[in-house]
């Protein structure tokens, strides 16, 4: 039986998120609504509701559900928000964000991943997500400004070009640290006085890389 049809799997999934401290009801509902089994590789479908990261194509990973929920909660989304995600991967995080915000633009440097994510999101009716192929860190992408920015690949430092994408009172959440080590999830908020930065949690993400991926 596919994981989604096993009520106990999904109940455990919700329980784990709550036990680990996710308390925002809208975030919990979004996590419940988005079928993670659609975003993992077919061999991993029976593991889709475990609280672990899993491999996806192009040597990348779909994040651990707790980390997806936690980063989403830390963005403090409002229904009118415009959100930028850098690192589409499977499209799972973008699907969760789209349940809570007005528009999501998500950028991926692998065309293969972007195309697959686009198809999945269309099938699920996530029509508020715009998947773009590109280097999400590049200042040249004509994307405009966002109320919220989430980076789901590890940065060594937060580039100024990314902070410039934030609208007034904007919030950015990103893993910051060494590319293949333990990083810190950092939240940056624009305030009247400047920037307020808070380190939240140790995490491990695949590195953010510059430029489009060369695919064979």
Q: Residue numbers of the site for ligand SAH (CB under 6 A)?
A: 60-63, 86-87, 89-90, 92-93, 107-110, 113, 135-137, 152-153, 206, 208-210
Known active-site residue 63: yes
CB of 139 to ligand SAH, least distance (A): 12
CA distance 91 to 54: 13
CA 43 centroid distance within chain: 22
- Six-digit token pair at 183? 């990083």
Asked if 143 and 166 touch (Cβ cutoff 8 Å), the reply is no
With respect to ligand SAH, which residue has the nearer C-beta, 82 or 106? 106
CB of 64 to ligand SAH, least distance (A): 10
CB of 207 to ligand SAH, least distance (A): 7
With respect to ligand SAH, which residue has the nearer C-beta, 104 or 137? 137
CA 119 centroid distance within chain: 17
Query: Which candidate in 8, 23, 63, 138 is catalytic?
Result: 63
Phi, psi angles (nearest 5°) of residue 164: -65, -20
Asked if 77 and 100 touch (Cβ cutoff 8 Å), the reply is yes
CB of 8 to ligand SAH, least distance (A): 24
Task: Please report which residue ranges of the chain form alpha helices under DSSP H.
Answer: 7-19, 25-33, 65-75, 92-98, 111-123, 160-163
What residues act catalytically?
63
């Amino acid at each position: 039986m596919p994981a989604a049809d096993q009520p106990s799997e999904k109940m455990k999934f919700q329980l784990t998120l709550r036990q680990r401290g996710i308390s925002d009801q809208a975030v919990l509902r979004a996590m419940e609504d988005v079928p993670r089994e659609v975003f993992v590789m077919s061999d991993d479908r029976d593991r889709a509701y475990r609280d672990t990261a899993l491999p996806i194509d192009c040597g990348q990973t779909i994040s651990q559900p707790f980390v997806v929920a936690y980063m989403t909660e830390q963005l403090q989304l409002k229904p009118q928000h415009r959100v930028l995600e850098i690192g589409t991967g499977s499209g799972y995080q973008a699907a969760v964000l789209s349940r809570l915000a007005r528009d999501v633009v998500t950028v991926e440097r692998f065309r293969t991943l972007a195309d697959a994510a686009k198809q999945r999101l269309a099938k699920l009716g996530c029509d508020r997500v715009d998947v773009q192929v590109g280097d999400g860190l590049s200042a040249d992408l004509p994307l405009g400004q966002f109320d919220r920015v989430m980076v789901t690949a590890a940065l060594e430092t937060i580039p100024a070009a990314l902070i410039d994408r934030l609208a007034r009172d904007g919030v950015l959440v990103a893993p910051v640290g060494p590319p293949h080590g333990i990083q810190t999830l950092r939240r940056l908020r624009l305030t009247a006085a400047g920037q307020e930065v808070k380190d939240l949690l140790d995490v491990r993400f695949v590195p953010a890389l510059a430029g489009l991926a060369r695919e064979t």
